[in-house]
Chains A and B, each alone.
Chain A
Amino acid sequence: MIANLTSSERQQAFVLAVGVVLAGGAMTILGRSDTLGVHGAIVMLFAGVVLYLIMSSFYDPEPVEDRESSYYDDPIKAGIVLSMAWAVFGMFMGVWVAAQLAWPDLAFDAAWSSFGRLRPTHTTGVIFGFGGNALIATSFHVVQRTSRARLAGQVSPWFVLLGYNLFCVLAVSGYLLGVTQSKEYAEAEWYADLWLVIVWVTYFVLYLRTIARRKEPHIYVANWYFMAFILVVAILHIVNNLALPVSWGHAKSYTIWPGVQDAMVQWWYGHNAVAFFLTAGFLGMLYYYLPVRAQRPIFSYRLSILSFWGITFFYMWAGSHHLHYTALPHWVQTLGMTFSVMLLVPSWASAGNALLTLNGAWHRVRDDATLRFMMAAAVFYGLSTFEGSFMAIRPVNSLSHYTDWTVGHVHAGALGWVALITFGSLYTLVPALWKRERMYSAALIEVHFWLAIAGTLIYVFAMWNSGIIQGLMWRTYTEDGALAYSFVDSLVAMYPYYIARAFGGLLFLIGAIVGCYNIWMTVRAVPVAAARAADVPVTPVAVPGE
């Protein structure tokens, strides 16, 4: 990590780490009578460890390699490891909260382990910890390879990666301490949000500068998606988290958005987090690793353009479908509903483009579980985008909203699409990055694939059943015009499905642990490939002409 930095870069890193330690110190002092102080201590500890790593090899010899002739892969490797660690943590939390719904005593009567606190540790752990680290790592890889240029910075990629993980640690530890903004998927408080703005803007600048260095005349599709992901997430994060802290020494803040406008801003954020974090970013992944693994050209460049602009334009309008039949004005709901339906075609165009790219490579899909991960991801992407547009239609939503159907829909996307495309991409990336011949065990990838598929299907079918049963029970009237069921009746009806859901999640978690072991053993035990094709940037001599 430090060995590849020049002495001036080590000084930069040192200054940054000291700055963060001091900021943590200030938080500790100002917030000494509040949970903010605990977070100050965590910041100091985190930055202190980084500072120790910098200092411990500060005076080592400087690197001599020619940077222009190699890619910068160290932060990517760290990102992959962090991503898998967060996957296990986040999915374990998911299994735990799922089990709590079936067996409430599993909260053990403690505040920190109550459902309301654990549930955001699950969502943040898997979306931001697992998904976010995977996106940062793969985007660093893809942008360098498709631009044939090295990352435009030595310290900043580490700053982005470690800074982002500090944000995740602050978020998750905050939930356990009871620190929350009560905004779904944006629970972290104001100081963590401010920190993420700094980190994310650095990420954006780093990405832009790397693309500006590219040795290819055109910017590849995957980079469009990664750019959209980084840019729009920055906008969403800043607007939704505009808030006033009650004091500089207090973790609590209040949003500047009042009433129904707060709800609208939150779900504009929430739905576009699905769009630009969980869709655009992972489509960037798909557009690189799927054609590489399938060894096929992308089916249609024109379809890529149509779906990219369709997705980026239509998603922006769709957020209000989370607020059907609420205090939100009817006309805003209509716009959310109609744009959600128009969004279906560009979404399916992406899924179709991915699946048609596999034409001529279906024998590989059959034989290669890594490619099959990505194929299944595209199928689940198509399924869940259809389901999403369908559920956004107001009368359908009147049945599905507030039920487990929504939870099932989210997990069809999160497990079936996001996690499967990530595992497929990582199994492609890990041997390439560590320059191994192959993954440690193809059989274990196969095992992981079937655990993941079985887990996802069990989960989604359980939630479809329970969601529709719930929705119907809540709207069933007796012939006297009174409600037929109490809420508790519907909970009792959910019980078997809650058990099935926890079991499906457990299978998925076991799959992820198998994946961790396989990646670990690939790095440890698989011999370095002698004859991998040279994986280096274009040197100045060979600059291709337009």
Chain B
Amino acid sequence: MAEVERDSVSGRETTGHEWNGIKELDTPVPRGVLMFLIVTHIWAIVWWFLVPAWPLGTTYTRGFLWTDQRTTVEAQVVEGQQERAAWMARIETEPYNAIMADEALMQTVRHTGRQLFGDNCAACHGRDGKGRANYPDLTDGDWLWGGSPELIEQTLRVGINTAHPDSRIAQMPAFGRDQMLEREQVRSVAAYVYSLTHPDYSTPQNIDRVNAGREVFVTTCATCHGENAAGNLEVGAPNLTDAHWVYGGDLDTIIASVHGGRQGHMPTWDERLTKAEIRTLALYVHDLGAQQP
């Protein structure tokens, strides 16, 4: 055991212990530490008196403020709902035309709708609503099921190809895989569809195939897509004569679509969003298309 020594730097004495060369000074606990210790304890004790803190068997000390996080959050929820109540009630009940005529209310729709769209729709359709491969662009004014707020609301509510009893059903059959069409017929009808948007494809070499494809189209595809291939909003059949494609408008993708069919899925939001939220989104999505030509 080492002797008590005086440290030349601090002027303090050591405790007189030594471990493998390590010694300790017998410095008292600095007054500031004790003060700080007292302050934090007083702070804690004050909190214990004010809010729920200590258990007492089956209950606990309630605190003089009589607060509880459960009642606090319930009150905050009610307050938040009241804050939104005025414009939400209007969106829920007023006809779309009236809402769209009210520019102030439409600003609210754009703010709220942007956040709702971001949290619920953007994963597939993109934050800007422009979609991506296999997910439709909602800003191009080209609609599968109709672009009026009423029809968008319907699509949001029941979804496409969902388990909802009123679900929109869009089934593009797998004409090739399910052997409704011959391999050659699939190729020629795809060539015909391709030529609708690519007139220069109808060269003398291809014209026979395109014409053969037209025959197939009229007998097989026109039921849904229409004789002029302009689509049908009633059954969600896309217009094949414009530049907007969900799955891609190149020849290979068209062949793949005719061969394997397409059964796109859009969830039903009936149970997940409130009526006001669905109507806000319907207006927001309609507005997306309207804002961008």
Q: Total contacts A to B, CB within 8 angstroms?
A: 159
Judge whether A342 and B25 touch: CB under 8 Å.
no
Judge whether B51 and A334 touch: CB under 8 Å.
yes
Q: How far is the CA of A301 from the CA of B28 in the complex (A)?
A: 8
Q: How far is the CA of A488 from the CA of B125 in the complex (A)?
A: 13
Which residues of the other chain, B, contact A216 by a CB distance below 8 angstroms? 17, 19
| Residue in A closest to B60 when the chains form the complex, CB atoms | A331
Q: How far is the CA of A545 from the CA of B115 in the complex (A)?
A: 76
Q: How far is the CA of A359 from the CA of B69 in the complex (A)?
A: 48
Residue A300 interfacial (CB < 8 Å): yes
Partner of A480, one of B14, B68, B112: B112
Q: How far is the CA of A302 from the CA of B30 in the complex (A)?
A: 10
| Residue in A closest to B70 when the chains form the complex, CB atoms | A330
Q: How many residues of B contact A (CB 8 A)?
A: 56
Judge whether B22 and A288 touch: CB under 8 Å.
yes
Judge whether B47 and A486 touch: CB under 8 Å.
no
Judge whether A341 and B7 touch: CB under 8 Å.
no
Judge whether B22 and A292 touch: CB under 8 Å.
yes
Residue A519 interfacial (CB < 8 Å): no
Type the 1/0 row for A331-346, where 1 means its CB is closer than 8 Å to any CB of B. 1011101110110110
Q: Give min CB distance, B159 to chain A, whole Å.
A: 21
Q: Which of chain A's residues 126-169 have a Cβ closer than 8 Å to chain B?
A: 145-146, 148
Judge whether B10 and A360 touch: CB under 8 Å.
yes
Q: How far is the CA of A359 from the CA of B9 in the complex (A)?
A: 8
Judge whether B60 and A488 touch: CB under 8 Å.
no
| Residue in B closest to A221 when the chains form the complex, CB atoms | B24
Q: Give min CB distance, A396 to chain B, whole Å.
A: 14
Judge whether B112 and A478 touch: CB under 8 Å.
yes
A335-B53, A486-B122 in contact; A345/B111 too (CB < 8 A)?
no
Q: Which of chain B's residues 80-131 have a Cβ closer than 8 Å to chain A?
A: 80, 83-84, 87, 108, 111-112, 114-119, 122-123, 127
Judge whether B27 and A480 touch: CB under 8 Å.
no
Residue A108 interfacial (CB < 8 Å): no
| Residue in B closest to A146 when the chains form the complex, CB atoms | B19
Partner of A338, one of B27, B44, B118, B119: B44
Which of B9, B29, B70 has the most chain A CB atoms inside 10 A of its CB?
Answer: B29
Q: Give min CB distance, B274 to chain A, whole Å.
A: 12
Which residues of the other chain, A, contact B111 by a CB distance below 8 angstroms? 478, 480, 482, 484
Which of A338, A344, A487 has the most chain B CB atoms inside 10 A of its CB?
Answer: A338
Which of B20, B47, B52, B80 has the most chain A CB atoms inside 10 A of its CB?
Answer: B20
Which residues of the other chain, B, contact A146 by a CB distance below 8 angstroms? 19-20, 22
A303-B29, A329-B60 in contact; A487/B52 too (CB < 8 A)?
no
Partner of A341, one of B43, B108, B115: B43
Residue A258 interfacial (CB < 8 Å): no
Judge whether B9 and A342 touch: CB under 8 Å.
no
Judge whether A342 and B40 touch: CB under 8 Å.
yes
Q: How far is the CA of A217 from the CA of B84 in the complex (A)?
A: 72
Q: How far is the CA of A221 from the CA of B20 in the complex (A)?
A: 13
Which residues of the other chain, B, contact A291 by a CB distance below 8 angstroms? 22-23
Q: How far is the CA of A214 from the CA of B186 in the complex (A)?
A: 89
Judge whether B27 and A302 touch: CB under 8 Å.
yes
Which residues of the other chain, A, contact B44 by a CB distance below 8 angstroms? 338-339, 341-342
Q: How far is the CA of A480 from the CA of B9 in the complex (A)?
A: 65
Judge whether B118 and A487 touch: CB under 8 Å.
yes
Judge whether A301 and B26 touch: CB under 8 Å.
yes
Judge whether A145 and B69 touch: CB under 8 Å.
no
Which residues of the other chain, A, contact B117 by a CB distance below 8 angstroms? 486
Q: How far is the CA of A544 from the CA of B16 in the complex (A)?
A: 13
Q: Which of chain B's residues 43-67 have a Cβ closer than 8 Å to chain A?
A: 43-44, 47-48, 51-55, 60-61, 67
Residue A112 interfacial (CB < 8 Å): no
Judge whether A301 and B25 touch: CB under 8 Å.
yes
| Residue in A closest to B45 when the chains form the complex, CB atoms | A338
| Residue in A closest to B39 when the chains form the complex, CB atoms | A345
Partner of B24, one of A301, A331, A359, A478: A301
Partner of A360, one of B1, B9, B48, B52: B9
Chain A contact residues, majority secondary structure: helix
Q: How far is the CA of A256 from the CA of B238 in the complex (A)?
A: 55
Judge whether A485 and B52 touch: CB under 8 Å.
no
Q: How far is the CA of A218 from the CA of B7 in the complex (A)?
A: 21
Judge whether A331 and B33 touch: CB under 8 Å.
no
Which residues of the other chain, A, contact B204 by a CB distance below 8 angstroms? none
Q: How far is the CA of A493 from the CA of B30 in the complex (A)?
A: 46
Judge whether A297 and B25 touch: CB under 8 Å.
yes
| Residue in A closest to B62 when the chains form the complex, CB atoms | A331
Q: How far is the CA of A480 from the CA of B106 in the complex (A)?
A: 12
A352-B33, A480-B84, A484-B111 in contact; A297/B23 too (CB < 8 A)?
yes
Q: How far is the CA of A339 from the CA of B36 in the complex (A)?
A: 14
Residue A220 interfacial (CB < 8 Å): yes
Q: How far is the CA of A337 from the CA of B68 in the complex (A)?
A: 15
Judge whether A544 and B1 touch: CB under 8 Å.
yes
Residue B15 interfacial (CB < 8 Å): yes
Q: Which of chain A's residues 11-31 have a Cβ closer than 8 Å to chain B?
A: none
Q: How far is the CA of A303 from the CA of B119 in the complex (A)?
A: 52
Residue B41 interfacial (CB < 8 Å): yes
A292-B21, A342-B44 in contact; A329/B52 too (CB < 8 A)?
yes
Partner of B69, one of A330, A342, A481, A492: A330
Type the 1/0 row for A270-311, where 1 means its CB is closer than 8 Å to any CB of B. 000000000000000000100110001111111110100000
Judge whether B33 and A334 touch: CB under 8 Å.
no
| Residue in A closest to B112 when the chains form the complex, CB atoms | A482
Judge whether B37 and A345 touch: CB under 8 Å.
yes
Which of A218, A352, A545 has the most chain B CB atoms inside 10 A of its CB?
Answer: A218
Which residues of the other chain, A, contact B68 by a CB distance below 8 angstroms? 330
Residue A525 interfacial (CB < 8 Å): no
Q: Which of chain B's residues 260-280 have a Cβ closer than 8 Å to chain A?
A: none
Q: Give min CB distance, A319 to chain B, whole Å.
A: 15
Judge whether A331 and B55 touch: CB under 8 Å.
yes
Q: Give min CB distance, A489 to chain B, whole Å.
A: 6
Partner of B52, one of A331, A345, A489: A331
Residue A325 interfacial (CB < 8 Å): yes
| Residue in A closest to B80 when the chains form the complex, CB atoms | A481
Q: Which of chain A's residues 319-375 have a Cβ closer than 8 Å to chain B?
A: 325, 329-331, 333-335, 337-339, 341-342, 344-345, 348-349, 352, 359-360
Q: Give min CB distance, A103 to chain B, whole Å.
A: 18
Q: Give min CB distance, B59 to chain A, whole Å.
A: 9
Which residues of the other chain, B, contact A338 by a CB distance below 8 angstroms? 43-44, 47-48, 53
Q: Give min CB distance, B111 to chain A, whole Å.
A: 5
Which residues of the other chain, B, contact A299 by a CB distance below 8 angstroms? 10, 25, 27
19 contacts between A and B (CB under 8 A): A218-B19, A291-B22, A292-B20, A298-B23, A300-B24, A300-B27, A302-B26, A302-B27, A329-B60, A334-B48, A335-B53, A338-B43, A338-B44, A345-B37, A482-B84, A484-B111, A485-B118, A486-B119, A489-B127
Q: Which residues of A contact B (CB under 8 A)?
A: 145-146, 148, 216-218, 220-221, 288, 291-292, 296-304, 306, 325, 329-331, 333-335, 337-339, 341-342, 344-345, 348-349, 352, 359-360, 478, 480-489, 492, 544-546
* Sample of 4 further A-B pairs with CB below 8 A, known A301-B27, A334-B53, A481-B83: A146-B19, A303-B33, A330-B67, A486-B127
Q: Which 5 A-B pairs have the closest CB atoms?
A: A486-B118, A360-B9, A481-B83, A338-B44, A300-B27
